[in-house]
Amino acid sequence: MSESERKKSIQSIKGTKDILPDEVWMWQKLEEIAGNLFERYGYRQIRTPVFEATELFEKGTGETSDIVTKEMYSFRDKGGRDITLRPEYTPSVVRSIIEHRLHLRTPPLRFYYFGPMFRYDKPQKGRYRQFHQIDVEVFNEKDAAIDAELVEMAQQLLIRLGVKDIHILVNSVGCTACRPSYHQHLRKSADQARENLCKDCRRKIDTNPLRLFDCKEESCRKISEGFPLITDHLCQECRDHFLAFCAYLDELSISYLVESRLVRGLDYYTKTTFEFTSGALGAQDAILGGGRYDDMMKQFGGPDICGTGFAVGIERLLSAASLEENKREWLYIATLGAEARIMGMKLARELRAEGWECLIEYRERSLNKQLGRAHKLGAGRVVLIGDEEVRSGRVQLKNMSSGQQTDVSVLGLAEALNVSD
């Protein structure tokens, strides 16, 4: 290694991104708004590890899905175990429920989660290898009412985050009883157009025909418009469930559009699917997606209980949200000399206990320079302490917007601060 190579600074890994202090407030605010909302609906937070056995995600997503074939962030650890950084959240929750037998406990199986997911995808603008999601999951509730309530909760979330121009698309993807015969119709139809479809779509005809509707190629999209629709092939149970879901949305005065091409490519999805779009995001406008996965728990070797939920990419959500930072007044404590510094530290401890944010910077600067810093940083008021103040047990309190300076006794400071002048 050459000298210049050694000195070269280390950069963040491609596809990852720092969230710096001046944007962290948005993440915190989003989590606060989302968490408060979900708890009002009876959801509780769950936190599972970021890595799991690779097998979990292979089982969860089906080996034919794109996530498994191309995008898993997998490695072998020092103990020779096959590990994957989670590409999605649901399999981890399902694993956790089975492992801790949460379905045998009293609380409802309603969970939410915020955190990073990982996909070894080609990094591009707005797509990261470490990205973040909000996830919401409900288990063991079959009725279409819970699906409608989830849509309502998702809508409330977007409204509270200030996302504009929201549209809701809904569909049913059927179940293991009705989907196979629909697949046959779809395959037959796609097969006739095989030559005009892209390479990816030709592969999907055999492996995962529902995904034919996901293709981004304009020519494929045009062709897929002529394909048969799942809504025309639902079994009685799926049809009834879908009609009930729509009826609940009507009762709740939630406007939506039935989009028969809205599908989920993973095998465990059943019945309800929904997607939220926002005009604020332009062409790539999907912002939140969800649906029902009644067969997932069973496929994981757990009890036969149904599931439903939604996921939102936080990066995209923040780009469509309009949030305002909570600004609170805070204090800069300027001190000159060793004794004044000690007095400042003790005073700051008391004020912090009262709930004030106080900043003392431990660098040798004149009181004037410290006042300059306080101004630049946007302090509301400054407490000035020099030799004279140490002797008298009084401090100078300067209001940074009016410039007014008052002489206050140390004991009366907390009270003086509560009078906003």
Of positions 33, 56, 215, 323, contacts Zn ion by CB under 5 A: 215
Taking the C-alpha atoms of residue 182 and residue 139, their distance in angstroms, rounded to an integer, is 27
Of residues 157 and 173, the one with the C-beta less far from Zn ion: 173
Of residues 221 and 394, the one with the C-beta less far from Zn ion: 221
Taking the C-alpha atoms of residue 39 and residue 376, their distance in angstroms, rounded to an integer, is 39
Q: Provide the minimum distance between the beta carbon of 219 and Zn ion in the complex, in angstroms, as a whole number.
A: 8
| Most distant CA atoms of the chain, gap in Å | 94
Using CB under 5 A as the binding criterion, the count of chain residues that bind Zn ion stands at 11
Q: Provide the minimum distance between the beta carbon of 136 and Zn ion in the complex, in angstroms, as a whole number.
A: 24
Of positions 169, 170, 178, 340, contacts Zn ion by CB under 5 A: 178
What x-and-dash track marks residues 120-159 binding Zn ion by CB under 5 A?
----------------------------------------
177 makes contact with Zn ion (CB under 5 A): yes
Which window, 66-74, 157-165, 174-182, 307-315, contacts Zn ion (CB under 5 A)?
174-182
315 makes contact with Zn ion (CB under 5 A): no
Q: Provide the minimum distance between the beta carbon of 172 and Zn ion in the complex, in angstroms, as a whole number.
A: 8
Of residues 77 and 225, the one with the C-beta less far from Zn ion: 225
What x-and-dash track marks residues 181-210 binding Zn ion by CB under 5 A?
-----------------x--x---------
Of residues 102 and 198, the one with the C-beta less far from Zn ion: 198
Of residues 272 and 335, the one with the C-beta less far from Zn ion: 272
Taking the C-alpha atoms of residue 217 and residue 230, their distance in angstroms, rounded to an integer, is 21
Q: Provide the minimum distance between the beta carbon of 221 and Zn ion in the complex, in angstroms, as a whole number.
A: 8
Of residues 217 and 357, the one with the C-beta less far from Zn ion: 217
Of positions 121, 217, 285, 339, contacts Zn ion by CB under 5 A: 217
Of residues 13 and 177, the one with the C-beta less far from Zn ion: 177
Q: Provide the minimum distance between the beta carbon of 185 and Zn ion in the complex, in angstroms, as a whole number.
A: 14
Of residues 229 and 235, the one with the C-beta less far from Zn ion: 235
Of residues 170 and 288, the one with the C-beta less far from Zn ion: 170
Of positions 229, 235, 305, 359, contacts Zn ion by CB under 5 A: 235
CB neighbour class for 10 (10 Å; exposed up to 12, middle 13-18, buried from 19)? exposed
Which window, 2-10, 16-24, 70-78, 170-178, contacts Zn ion (CB under 5 A)?
170-178
Of positions 30, 67, 238, 333, contacts Zn ion by CB under 5 A: 238
168 makes contact with Zn ion (CB under 5 A): no
- Interface with Zn ion (CB under 5 A): 174-175, 177-178, 198, 201, 215, 217, 220, 235, 238
